[in-house]
């Protein structure tokens, strides 16, 4: 395949000098809007719009880049140093997103259902042409040693009608893949990564009102995070071995857990000015500085943190270990500030740079190892010309304890136009935010949550991944792959 290479250097070539000037207001001093490690070159590799490069995945040592060509029905494999094509693997219709299994021996590929028609030649099985045409919702399995498809899994069952599978994520703790359908449906199904058997849909957050977009897992906490753009929230659930147990909502004790910030959802001992500020429903005014205090009698007897003997004793309908608990739902529509527990100093959203502390239509979710998560906010249909927020939310024991109240953020700011996907380098030095509205990628210092640079990418960028050496961005509409050196 012939690849046309195009180079751009710095903000001037990228045509985003005003944007870089904006970043300079955030304590940036850069002449090339790079990472501050010297001159860098932006390289576009034009593969053709008919190929529509979409989702990407890097192998274990980041020497190979796998790209789903949605319009060409292949998974292309590139050498990340030379960008030379290593292999071209034919797959069935409409490949979208990719995910490796735990030992990187297999690559799983989701496909569009809409193009999987019996009349389309691409619906013929890639590994067993004698089979009937693949019509419906499929995930292909590529054996990396052989560089070919070895299985095609029909993920739509009688109980779980999934259409147009999109994002796919591996729960590494239990070795189970979670496949999410397109946003309008938001159905989730699961695949046993040991034997490629479909295990079925989730047993929590699976109603028609819950429209999943993406799922992330924290194997150390044993929890999963389900992003719901339609409801501007993140549902938290226990990541169980679905072969043996059912999923359940992650729950918390509202009187002993919660973040001390804002006017709702606060645990006991947090400052308050009204009963509604507290999970307990009681703001004790007898103190010089009123605080949330324990209350489990009368109208508050069934609140989170109160004694119970059965689920019906609790307003949440959940009694665990003889205590009423509350399902953890992280509300993103409204943003609280940050209070440093060591210094007691609090920052408001406005002080962080959030003049309008509202996150609408969240599209990106990136879990970090320091008990925080980055969330990008795409914005409403009326916000296409307005900078939208990037949130750095708190996910420690208190931060995760949220009952759909305003989210507690550690560092948030108005980032760029139409922010979508997020990525990080393996060492977590940087976070990268794809700005689809102005064809830019922002570089965020992961430790502080502050922007440190940016670089231009092809118009209408689609997906982003990163290694310790490069950031890769695809644009299906432009038929381009962008590689940005970090060092």
pLDDT tens sequence across 125-174: 988 888 888 988 999 999 999 999 999 999 987 777 888 899 999 999 99
Q: At residue 473, what are phi and psi to the nearest 5 degrees? A: -130, 135
Provide DSSP, 419-472. EEEEEE-TT-SEEEEEETTTTEEEEEETTTTEEEEEEE--SS--EEEE-SSEEE
Residues 6+ apart with CB under 8 A from 12: none
Would you state the pLDDT for residue 19?
42
CA 36 to chain centre: 27
Q: Residue 6: pLDDT band by 50, 70, 90 thresholds?
A: low
Chain-wide mean pLDDT for the chain? 87
Would you state the pLDDT for residue 2?
42
| Start-end of CATH 2.40.10.500 domains in the chain | 335-456
Would you state the pLDDT for residue 339?
73
Q: Residue 15: pLDDT band by 50, 70, 90 thresholds?
A: very low
How many Cβ atoms from other residues are within 10 Å of residue 197's Cβ?
12
Helix (H) or strand (E) holding 249: strand 248-249
How many Cβ atoms from other residues are within 10 Å of residue 86's Cβ?
15
Q: Residue 277: pLDDT band by 50, 70, 90 thresholds?
A: confident
Q: What is the 3-state secondary structure (H, E, C) of 18-75?
A: HHHHHHHCCCCCCCCCCCCCCCCCEEEEECCCCCCEEEEEECCCCCEEEEEECCCCEE
pLDDT tens-digit readout, 423-444: 999 999 999 999 999 999 999 9
Evaluate whether the domain defined by 335-456 bears CATH number 2.40.10.500.
Answer: yes
Would you state the pLDDT for residue 16?
40
Q: What is the mean pLDDT of residues 34-52?
A: 66
Would you state the pLDDT for residue 345?
77
Integer Cα distance of 15 and 8 in angstroms: 10
Instruction: Answer yes or no: are the C-beta atoms of 92 and 126 closer than 8 Å.
Output: yes
Instruction: Answer yes or no: are the C-beta atoms of 268 and 291 closer than 8 Å.
Output: yes
pLDDT tens-digit readout, 443-463: 999 998 999 999 999 999 999
Three-class secondary structure of residue 352 per DSSP: helix
- The CA R_g of the chain, rounded to the nearest whole Å, is 24
Would you state the pLDDT for residue 140?
97
Residue 111 has pLDDT above 80, yes or no: yes
Residues in a beta bridge with 288: none
Q: Residue 185: pLDDT band by 50, 70, 90 thresholds?
A: low
**Cβ burial, residue 36 (10 Å; 0-12/13-18/19+):** middle
Helix (H) or strand (E) holding 12: helix 10-14
Candidates 18, 7, 4, 6; CA nearest to 454 is 18
Instruction: Answer yes or no: are the C-beta atoms of 326 and 303 closer than 8 Å.
Output: no
Residues 6+ apart with CB under 8 A from 270: 258, 260, 277, 278, 291, 292
Integer Cα distance of 404 and 205 in angstroms: 14
Q: What is the mean pLDDT of residues 190-199?
A: 96
Would you state the pLDDT for residue 183?
58
**pTM for the model:** 0.89
Q: What is the mean pLDDT of residues 238-262?
A: 90
Of 6-10, 149-153, 184-188, 395-399, give the lowest mean pLDDT range.
6-10
């Amino acid at each position: 395949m012939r690849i046309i290479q195009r180079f751009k250097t710095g903000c001037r070539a990228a045509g985003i000098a005003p944007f870089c000037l904006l970043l300079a207001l955030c304590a940036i001093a850069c002449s090339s809007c790079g990472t501050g490690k010297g001159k860098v070159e932006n390289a576009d590799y034009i593969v053709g719009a008919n190929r529509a490069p979409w989702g990407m995945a890097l192998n274990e040592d980041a020497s190979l880049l796998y790209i789903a060509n949605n319009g060409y029905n292949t998974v292309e494999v590139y050498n990340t140093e030379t960008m030379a094509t290593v292999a071209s693997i034919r797959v069935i219709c409409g490949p979208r997103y990719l995910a490796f299994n735990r030992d990187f021996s297999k690559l799983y590929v989701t496909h569009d259902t809409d193009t999987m028609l019996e009349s389309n030649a691409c619906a013929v099985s890639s590994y067993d042409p004698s089979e009937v045409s693949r019509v419906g919702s499929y995930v292909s399995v590529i054996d990396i040693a052989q560089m070919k498809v070895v299985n095609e899994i029909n993920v739509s069952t009688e109980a779980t009608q999934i259409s147009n599978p999109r994002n796919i994520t591996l729960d590494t703790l239990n070795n189970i893949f979670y496949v999410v359908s397109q946003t309008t449906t938001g159905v989730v199904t699961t695949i046993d990564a040991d034997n490629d058997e479909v295990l079925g849909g989730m047993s929590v957050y699976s109603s028609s009102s819950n429209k999943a977009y993406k799922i992330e897992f924290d194997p150390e906490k044993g929890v999963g995070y389900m992003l719901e753009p339609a409801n501007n929230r993140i549902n938290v659930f226990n990541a169980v071995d679905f072969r043996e147990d059912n999923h359940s909502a992650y729950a918390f004790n509202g009187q002993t857990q919660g973040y001390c910030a804002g006017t709702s959802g606060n645990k006991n001992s947090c400052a308050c000015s009204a009963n509604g500020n507290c999970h307990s429903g009681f703001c004790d005014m007898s103190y010089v500085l009123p605080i949330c205090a324990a209350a489990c009698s009368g109208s508050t007897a069934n609140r989170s943190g109160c004694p119970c003997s059965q689920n019906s004793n609790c307003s949440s309908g959940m009694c665990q270990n003889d205590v009423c608990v509350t399902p953890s739902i992280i509300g993103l529509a409204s943003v609280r500030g940050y209070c440093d527990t060591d210094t007691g100093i609090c920052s408001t959203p406005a002080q962080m740079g959030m003049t309008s502390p509202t996150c609408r239509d969240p599209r990106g979710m990136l879990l970090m190892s320091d008990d925080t998560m980055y969330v990008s906010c795409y914005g409403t249909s009326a916000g296409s010309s307005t900078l939208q927020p990037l949130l750095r939310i708190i996910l420690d024991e208190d931060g995760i304890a949220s009952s759909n109240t305003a989210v507690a953020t550690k560092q948030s700011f108005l980032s760029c136009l139409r922010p979508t996907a997020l990525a990080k380098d393996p060492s977590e030095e940087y976070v990268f935010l794809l700005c689809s509205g102005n064809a830019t990628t922002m570089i965020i210092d992961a430790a502080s949550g502050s922007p440190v640079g940016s670089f231009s990418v092809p118009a209408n960028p689609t997906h982003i991944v990163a290694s310790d050496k490069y950031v890769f961005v695809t644009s299906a509409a432009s038929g381009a792959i962008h590689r940005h050196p970090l060092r």
